[in-house]
Amino acid sequence: MATSMDKEDIPFDEMFMAGNKIRRPYSGYHHWLEGQHTRRLQQKSSEADALFRSVGVTFNVYGNKDADERLIPFDIIPRIISAAEWSKLTRGIEQRIRAINSFLHDIYHRQEIIRAGKLPAKLITGNSAFLPQMIGVTPPGHVYTHIVGTDIIRTDENEFLVLEDNARTPSGVSYMLQNRETMLQMFPDLFSAVSVRPVSDYPRHLRRCLSDCPPARCEGRPVIGVLTPGIHNSAYFEHAFLANQMGVELVEGQDLRVVDGRIAMRTIRGYVPVDVLYRRVDDDFLDPLNFRPDSLLGVAGILDVYRAGGVTLVNAPGTGIADDKAIYSYIPDIIRFYTGEAPLLGNVPTWRCSEPDHLAYALENLSDLVVKEIHGSGGYGMLVGPAASKQELADFRQLLSSRPDNYIAQPTMCLSTVPILARSGLAPRHVDLRPFVLVSPDRIHISPGGLTRVALKEGSLVVNSSQGGGTKDTWVLED
């Protein structure tokens, strides 16, 4: 197993093959690109920035007062996926998500997988993402994860691996839409030269997906709302954007209360029930009566209303148990257990530091590994061994030894690269991919594209926007 980026470990570039030959999916685009002047592209690139700013597509960075609204850098060179690659990817993602939903249902009901000895019970019982309040509760339409953003990395021509399942409240879909919108505005001619599958119908699919799972007490057409923590949340732009695009209410906890066993929103004419809430508030903050009592973002009693069929929460509370990084390492087994099939998409090899021999391995090879917190996200609290200083390594060694259960370790994967437009022209940078998945009781919809995140610093493998990553428009070709 490759544990580090050795010299012979030349990253797989998605545009250029050896000898500067163009990989087939990029041939149409590259042909267009050859007719463009670098200076004009650079000018377009700054026009794109201005566009993002005036539309207000910004990102709030926590813990940074001065720059509380930042632009995620947008790179104008698209990331291109062929139709064949895409269909392979989507089959794998669908399989995985079906298994995850079966797993969630099982884990909150009979826990067959534990009885079968395929998953250690302690991973569930001692896990803060497991919500005892959800035991025995079946969500409307039997869907737990209505909205998923599976993080995929590519390591060579044929290998796509799942890095994270993001089954709680994945963000970034507004960037998928805005990036495409920007590209269409900047380079209208480009899209007649290359046939790219559109993504602009995502909001309509999202709305349908939300309507597909009305609560038991809903009468008629479901009333839908997006529940946001408010304008100071890092993803607020996205919450407003999606509500706006779907034509549904954008609500905050302060707008809602329990009225006659329903969740109702305060309108200028009084309280009106909401049927489906796409909530972008974490489980912990959702209900001060059931979870964190100091939360001002949620609605007191909403979980009880949910359990009684008064409202649909999207995603269901407690789905975090499926995308926890310790559970992640068992997903291939979970897929086999619930679908009886071999996993179509692989995992990144993972050492669970809770297991003594894994911990020993992790400590020994720390400088080659990526270490992540079990419940971490957004690139916070992680260690990238090869890029870490001696001090950082020493700090993490201590963290790992004192709370091994809290960490997993993975080899530093050599992510594929796609060129960005740098000052000097094209330059390869590492990327990952987050396709956006919508789950309805009878179908799974995956938007053809997704969010490509790119590490803008040369050689860097950290693509998170909170850590200086950028984004690219992601194309899935028609043919």
Partner 1 sequence: MVLGRTADGLFWMFRYLERSENTARLVGAGLRIALTRSRSGAEEWSSIISTAGATDAFLARHASYEFDGVVEFMLRDRSNPSSVMSLIEAARNNARSVRTALTSEVWEATNETWMSLRNALKTPVTHHGLPEVLSLIRQQSAYVRGALHGTMLRNEMFNFARLGTFLERADNTARILDVKYYVLLPSVVHVGAPIDNVQWETILRSVSAEHAYDWLNEGDPDPAGIARFLILDGRMPRSMAFCCKQILENLRHLEADLPDPAPSLALAQELSDSLRRRDIKDVLEDGLHDFIQEFISKLGKLGGQIETDYQFHA
Residue among 117, 270, 293, 340 that touches partner 1 (CB under 8 A): 270
C-beta closer to partner 1: residue 114 or 240: 240
C-beta closer to partner 1: residue 181 or 284: 181
Interaction between residue 252 and partner 1 (CB under 8 A) = yes
The window from 52-60, 84-92, 183-191, 432-440 that contacts partner 1 (CB under 8 A) reads 52-60
Q: How far is the CB of 139 from partner 1 (least distance, A)?
A: 26
Q: How far is the CB of 58 from partner 1 (least distance, A)?
A: 10
Residue among 36, 195, 244, 398 that touches partner 1 (CB under 8 A): 244
Interaction between residue 441 and partner 1 (CB under 8 A) = no
Residue among 257, 292, 307, 457 that touches partner 1 (CB under 8 A): 257
User: Are 146 and 213 within 8 A, CB to CB?
Assistant: yes
Residue among 84, 135, 216, 231 that touches partner 1 (CB under 8 A): 231
The window from 161-169, 230-238, 369-377, 410-418 that contacts partner 1 (CB under 8 A) reads 230-238
Number of residues that bind partner 1 (CB under 8 A): 25
Interaction between residue 272 and partner 1 (CB under 8 A) = yes
Interaction between residue 181 and partner 1 (CB under 8 A) = no
C-beta closer to partner 1: residue 41 or 71: 71
Interaction between residue 71 and partner 1 (CB under 8 A) = no
Interaction between residue 54 and partner 1 (CB under 8 A) = yes
Residue among 24, 31, 53, 115 that touches partner 1 (CB under 8 A): 53
Interaction between residue 56 and partner 1 (CB under 8 A) = yes
Interaction between residue 426 and partner 1 (CB under 8 A) = no
Interaction between residue 68 and partner 1 (CB under 8 A) = no
Interaction between residue 195 and partner 1 (CB under 8 A) = no
Residue among 36, 267, 398, 401 that touches partner 1 (CB under 8 A): 267
Residue among 17, 240, 399, 444 that touches partner 1 (CB under 8 A): 240
Interaction between residue 64 and partner 1 (CB under 8 A) = no
SS (H, E, C) the chain: CCCCCCCCCCCCECCECHHHCECHHHHHHHHHHHCCCHHHHHHHHHHHHHHHHHHCCCECCCCCCCCCCECCCEEEEEEEECHHHHHHHHHHHHHHHHHHHHHHHHHCCCCHHHHCCCCCCHHHHCCCCCCHHHCCCCCHHHCCCCEEECEEEECCCCCEEEEECCCCCCCCHHHHHHHHHHHHHHCCCHHHHCCECCCCCHHHHHHHHHHCCCCCCCCCCCCEEEECCCCCCCCHHHHHHHHHHHCCEEECHHHEEEECCEEEEEECCEEEEECEEEECCCHHHHCCCCCCCCCCCCCCCHHHHHHCCCCEEECCCCHHHHCCHHHHCCHHHHHHHHHCCCCCCEECCCEECCCHHHHHHHHHCHHHEEEEECCCCCCCCCEEHHHCCHHHHHHHHHHHHHCHHHEEEEECCCCCEEEEEECCEEEEEEEEEECEEEECCCCEEECCCCEEEEECCCCCCCCCHHHCEEEEEEEEECC
Interaction between residue 136 and partner 1 (CB under 8 A) = no
What residues line the site for partner 1 (CB under 8 A)? 53-56, 230-231, 236, 240-241, 243-244, 249-252, 254-255, 257, 265-270, 272
